[in-house]
Amino acid sequence: MSAASFRPLATPPAELATALRTQGYGVLSPEGVAEWLGLPLSALDALQADWNALPPDEYLKDGGRYRQRRHACFAVEGRSLTPVPHRAHWQPVEYNALHGGMQRWFAPMVAETVESPTWQRLMLRIAAAASDLRGAQRWFVEAHQFRIDTADGIGRPTPEGAHRDGVDLVAVMLVGREGIKGGETRVFEADGRRGERFTMTEPWTLLLLDDARVIHESTPIQPLAEGEGGHRDTLVVTCRAGAFQGD
């Protein structure tokens, strides 16, 4: 592990593709995300209300009640984004020892969100980053809206531990955090000893990962004050070539 740096070192948008190829990840600041998308941050702010109405994740095998989520899937080819019929999320056990091997039917994302120009711009831009990394092709994209809360005292963003997702590109965007401590992001080489750790604190900070080269996790969160709740909201988007996992 390298020396601790609790603020992520921002990657200039023009250098993102190089960062992904050379070190396996890159972090865009909120201002960098706005530049990368060609949109003001206020356009992303319009998506934020969704996270206040996410239904519970009914599949947590650790017995926890700290996670709410919604899920949507798309096919992206060039500048074409096509929603696909609602489907189960599935991962093999080698990538998710806790929840792998089971079909998880999460609540679908709100239609108004996935039809919005801002959402579509974000999905297309993430898929373009996957093409920069692997070459232009058809991408099978899954999007997950998460809220991890501290209602029971502790919330686990990655209960499966440090992991890969079995895809080509992973994007983790911080939507917001309130009344919590913890939630440190850790990125490690999959076949080496080098790693980085930092905490994303500013809404719309975006971490992009080459899933073949690095593993990642986020540490548990706890409330800042005893007896008071808190939460951490994220958007996780994955791009996979060939097919969705499970097909």
- Which stretch of DSSP H or E encloses residue 173? strand 169-178
Residue 5, pLDDT > 70, answer no
Minimum mean pLDDT range among 135-144, 212-221, 226-235: 226-235
Pairing of strands 169-178, 206-210: antiparallel
pLDDT of residue 2: 36
pTM above 0.85, yes or no: yes
How much is the mean pLDDT over the chain? Answer: 91
- Give the rounded percent of residues in the chain with a pLDDT score beyond 90: 77
3 pLDDT more than 90: no
Q: Kindly list the strands in the beta sheet with 80-83, ordered across the sheet, starting from the edge strand earlier in the chain.
A: 25-28, 206-210, 169-178, 231-241, 139-149, 67-77, 80-83
Quick one: pLDDT at residue 90?
Answer: 81
Is the pLDDT score of 110 beyond 60? yes
**Helix 117-134 vs helix 30-37: crossing angle, to nearest 10:** 90
pLDDT of 112 reads 96
What whole-number percentage of the chain has pLDDT above 70? 94
pLDDT for residue 102 is more than 90: no
Question: Which tens digit of pLDDT belongs to each residue from 167-181?
Answer: 999 999 999 999 999
- Residue 215 CA, chain-centre distance (Å), reads 13
